[in-house]
Amino acid sequence: MRICSHYLKVKHILVIAGSDSSGGAGIQADIKAITSLGGHALTALTAVTAQNSLGVTGIHGIPAGFITKQVKAVIEDVVPKAVKIGMLYSEAAVKEVVKLLKSHGLVNIVLDPVLRATTGKDLLEPKAINLFREELLPLVSVVTPNLLEAGTLAGMKVDCSNDMAKAAQAIQAMGPHVVITGGHLKSKCTDLLYDGKAFHRFHGSRIETQHTHGSGCVFSTALATFLAGDNGVVTATKKAHNFTRSAIMNGYACGRGPGPVKPG
């Protein structure tokens, strides 16, 4: 039997994340980003949300044991070259993912610490934060918080570039490389990477649009996909930064609130 040479070159990316019923963020955005970069998305669903462009109205967590069942079914057949972890929602799900990462030799693990929706609804149970810091962060390769998430993880307020650097150092001390995304900075938009040795800044002028739904998901997923392509963390971050800016510039309206970005 002939195996298509193109298949052998396809990057398989495992996504462990929640679903967005409006299709703008979550696992839907992850699949779009991976596909547009020439990869194949393998998925394990952690939660189902009822949401639209105006906010999240409900969350149904997937039983933790079934998250494991999804992941095991995938990796017993296909070995992913990278893993993107998004919304986990429950403390039980965090514990289950920690077990999975400890039990399997997964590489290039990118964690998008989805803690709260823009509208203020918790997307991770508050009681899971300490577990998140102490047990999950040491197991991942890169974590990609926004300003609010970086502040929660570092235990400080983050609203300027100096704060970003201090928070990045505090978070990196827990284990992973850190990329704090700066889309919410008041001045120039700057993503900050701290790899434990040096700071790397990726600047971009502000894009005047309200259609930014899913930008954090797209950034972290693009980063995982570029890492799967054997890029180092600095190069992968730069490429993810540029890819996400393009997705934001191509964002479009979908509903009465902020619309989604368009990767690819």
How far the first Cα of the chain sits from its last, in Å, is 33
- What's the pLDDT band for 160 if we cut at 50, 70, 90? confident
pLDDT in the model for residue 186: 67
pLDDT digits (tens, 9 = 90+) for 8-34: 578 999 999 999 999 999 999 999 999
pLDDT digits (tens, 9 = 90+) for 165-198: 999 999 999 999 999 998 767 677 889 999 999 9
Q: How far apart are CA 257 and CA 38, in angstroms?
A: 30
Phi-psi region of 120 (alpha: psi -120 to 50; beta: other; left: phi over 0): left
Count Cβ atoms below 10 Å from residue 111 Cβ, excluding itself: 26
CA–chain centroid gap for 15, Å, is 9
Fold of 5-249: UDP-N-acetylmuramoyl-L-alanine:D-glutamate ligase (3.40.1190)
Check whether 36 has a pLDDT greater than 60: yes
Domain locations along the chain: 5-249
Segment holding 49, helix H or strand E: strand 39-52
Please check whether residue 252 is in contact with residue 215, taking contact to mean a CB–CB distance below 8 angstroms. no
pLDDT in the model for residue 9: 74
Of 206, 217, 208, which Cα lies nearest the Cα of 262?
Answer: 217
Q: Which residue has the higher pLDDT, 77 or 188?
A: 77
Check whether 262 has a pLDDT greater than 90: yes
pLDDT digits (tens, 9 = 90+) for 205-251: 888 899 999 999 999 999 999 999 999 999 999 999 999 999 999 99
Bridge-partner residues for 84, per DSSP? 15, 110
pLDDT in the model for residue 3: 40
Check whether 39 has a pLDDT greater than 90: yes
Of 121, 132, 125, which Cα lies nearest the Cα of 97?
Answer: 132
Count Cβ atoms below 10 Å from residue 151 Cβ, excluding itself: 18
pLDDT digits (tens, 9 = 90+) for 47-73: 999 999 999 999 999 999 999 999 999
Phi-psi region of 196 (alpha: psi -120 to 50; beta: other; left: phi over 0): left
Residue 227 burial by Cβ neighbours in a 10 Å radius (0-12, 13-18, 19+) = buried
DSSP annotation of 141 reads S
The pTM assigned to this predicted structure is 0.94
pLDDT digits (tens, 9 = 90+) for 92-139: 999 999 999 999 999 999 999 999 887 668 899 999 999 999 999 999
